[in-house]
Structure 1
Amino acid sequence: MSAAGVPSPLSRTSSRRHFWQRDLVGIAIILAAALLGYVFVPDNLALLTRIIAILFLVLSLDLVTGYCGVATLGHAALFGAGAYAAGIAAVTFNITSAFSMVAIGALAGGVAGLVCGVVILRGHGLAQLVLSIAVIHLFHEAANKASTLTGGSDGLSGIAPDPILGLFEFDLFGRTAYLFGILLLLIIFVMLRILVRSPFGMLCRGIRQDPLRVSAMGASVKATLIKMYIISGAVAGVGGAFNAVSTQVVGLDSLSFTNSAEALVMLVLGGAGSLYGAFVGTIVFVWFEDVVSSANPFHWLTTVGALLIAVVLFAPKGLYGTAAALFERYRRRLK
């Protein structure tokens, strides 16, 4: 630290190194968990692949809610836009390369993010929630009415992605889809970690904490939020496109309000504003839902509800956020 109280270049370099070391550990844990799932749960790769697809949605939600403080219950509109765009590209235009479908899904999600951002950001607080609910219903109804392209209530089927690199086919066991999803997830995660630590990411954090002060400093709050909405839409679009590639069908449920609400629940469960919380919340919620619904198909929602109440009461920062805070407190005591 310099005499003026400004961090020296050496301390900033040390801080960056510390963050990257922590991220490398996080990436290593993600890879290890993915490989363990592939080896020890080969008969349930469909569930693991579903978790990966939902993870993209929750990560994208974390960008606008956890980092920018924008309340939304319509984020599945971005996920569904990517899914339908990739599906239509494959079925109608015969674009069946998995990478091309994902790119098209990211583009469609970004455009949907721009549209949603312009509409939702016109409101504040409760009005934002109402606008986001209206947006998801409008997207849902548009997909239902455009049945010649989307299949309407019957869904869009006949999606047949080409083998990856011409070698790895998308089989019924989901091996290729799972590994493809892990590759996409790692690429997106690294990009998002760079984004949230960039000056743009810090500006978004500042807007979440005090938008008036950020505006007084000369930064455009609305323009910044719309940019983050577009980025978030691209990430959600990747998730939607990956879901279309892995399941080879797109239904109206990808644009459902339930998807948006559950994504928000997963984010709160894991802890908003860290990206890692999205991983923890999604994995715990989907796994817990699968196990409990299999054991008690009639009353499993009661058990899930009890879990969420317990987390909100005893771990208000979410599972990851609370664990990280306790670890940091313990580390400071050791010093």
Structure 2
Amino acid sequence: MTNSTLTQATARDWLRRQSRWSLPEIIFWPLLLLPFVLFPTYLPLANQIAIAALFALSVDLILGYAGIITLGHAMFFGLGAYCAALLGKNGWGEPLTGLLIAGAFAGFIGFVASFIIVRVQHLALLMITLGLGFLTLELANSLGWLTGGADGLRVPRTWPIFNYFRFDLWGYTAYGYSLAVLFVCFLLSRRLVNSSFGLALRGVRENSTRMPAIGSAYKSHQQIIYTISAAMAGLAGALLAQTTSTVALEVLSFNRSADVVVMLILGGTGRLYGAIIGAIIFLVARDQLAGINPQYWYFWIGLLLMVVVLFMPKGILGFISRLAGKRD
């Protein structure tokens, strides 16, 4: 057996092991249903967490697996939100088709932007993504006749899901809907990263200059994952518009892009579950700290972030894996 055959067999075995569901994973997802029973008054917050987790998951695909750093991914989140809102405002409130259209639109813009993204690296990449985000924000602000500008958009109530599940004031349907979309996107992401394509992405992240030497078209890999990530971010934005019936310029803001990076740092990049854990920790901490100290709650978030970076550089999940004796 040649070295090449042995390497391929080893890679296949590793991917097969990675694809198996572990017991903690099987337990984790039913736990996300507990707010329906134990914390019904916090369902609106749970809905925000599910949406933020989906957005963080989209960023993790490019940051944690492909090594594409970004500070402007809220552009795609906002595009998805405005697309779904405008569909609803113009009489089309069917949630699932609106969700898919919004995701496809954000994905198309992401595909166009990817031709620029794959040509720069490091600090230049940060500046490009940041600039694209600011450009989109100012464009939305200037097109007030379409986006509502600083006043935002009021979206007519979304139609019932499958013409049966109506969006209620307590947030039962909204959270169930967002959680279902998050789970489906997680399954797709999990299958993606635990494939040969996912291995190629890890290779790009570790050393993009060596990838062409083994025959990998790494730029096309980056373009594909960036497009998928943009579409997923658009889905998250569309969920926000559909479940809250409002869209403001804040969906395109730098703060939203920065917050999602903080979530990934807290949970751990390149792990998928890190996006969800980070979103839970960040939004629950923000909710509780804002209630205790409305003016200075960001101080405590900053302190939490410093503790995690100093003592858990690979995030909370990375720290737990190290305690369990597992290697990345």
Query: Normalised by the shorter chain, which TM-score bucket?
Result: over 0.9
1:107 — aligned with what? 104
Q: Deviations over 1:3-40 (max 9, x none)?
A: 96927969956862563222x7415412x222211111
Paired residue secondary structure (2:158):
coil
Match of 1:74 in 2: 72
- 2:222 counterpart of 1:235: no
Q: Does structure 2 conserve the Cα–Cα contact (< 8 Å) formed by 1:293 and 1:300?
A: yes
Identify if the C-alpha distance between structure 1 residues 11 and 226 changes in structure 2 by more than 3 Å, giving closer, same or farther.
Answer: closer
After the TM superposition, which residues 36-185 of structure 1 pair with which residues of structure 2 at under 5 Å, given as runs? 36-92=34-90, 94-185=91-182
2:19–2:191 CA contact under 8 A, matched in 1 = no
Which residue identity is paired with 1:249? T
Identical counterparts, % of pairs? 38
- 1:261 corresponds, among 240, 247, 258, to 258
Partner Cα distance (1:71, 1:64) in 2: 7
Number of residue pairs the alignment of both structures matches:
326
1:219 pairs with one of 212, 216, 224 = 216
Which amino acid in 1 is paired with 2:243?
S
- Shift in Å at residue 122 of structure 1? 2.6
Q: Could you say if the C-alpha distance between residues 216 and 13 of structure 1 is closer, same or farther in structure 2, counting changes exceeding 3 Å?
A: closer
> Which string of whole-angstrom CA distances, capped at 9 and with x for unpartnered residues, describes residues 36-71 of structure 1?
111111111111101111111110100111001111
TM-score (norm 2): 0.94
> Which residue of the partner structure matches residue 277 of structure 1?
274
- Alignment of 1:297 with 2:299, yes or no, is no
Return the offset for 1:105. 1.4
* Structure 2 residue 285 is the aligned partner of structure 1 residue 306: no
Structure 2 residue identity aligned to 1:103: L
Q: Distance in 2 between matches of 1:212 and 1:87?
A: 42
1:220-256 Cα distance to aligned partner (Å, 9 max, x none):
2222111110000111111011111110111110000
Deviations 1:163-205 (A, max 9, x none): 1121211111111011111111111101100000111111111
Q: 1:88/1:12 Cα in 2 relative to 1: closer, same or farther (>3 Å)? A: same
Match in the other structure for 1:207: 204
Structure 2's unaligned 5+ residue stretches are none
Dislocated runs of 4+, deviation >3 Å: 2-5, 7-15
The 8 Å contact of residues 269 and 315 in structure 2, kept in 1 or not, is answered as yes
Report the residue type matching 2:28 in the other structure. I
Cα distance in 2 for residues equivalent to 1:154 and 1:10 = 56
Over aligned residue pairs, what C-alpha RMSD do you find? 2.1
Partner deviation per Cα, 1:67-99 (whole Å, 9 max, x = no partner)? 01111100110111111111111112x221110
Task: Describe the shift of the 1:272–1:217 C-alpha distance in structure 2 as closer, same or farther (beyond 3 A).
Answer: same
1:77–1:112 CA contact under 8 A, matched in 2: no
Give distance in 2, aligned partners of 1:137 and 1:45: 32
- Aligned counterparts of 2:28 and 2:82: Cα–Cα separation in 1: 32
- Per the normalisation by structure 1, the TM-score is 0.92
Deviations 1:248-301 (A, max 9, x none): 111110000000011111111111001011111111011111111111112211
Task: Tell me the alpha carbon deviations over residues 111-148 of structure 1, each in whole angstroms, 9 at most, x when there is no partner.
Answer: 12123322333321111111111000111111112222
SS in 1 for 2:134: helix
State which of 316, 324, 327 in structure 1 corresponds to 2:313: 316
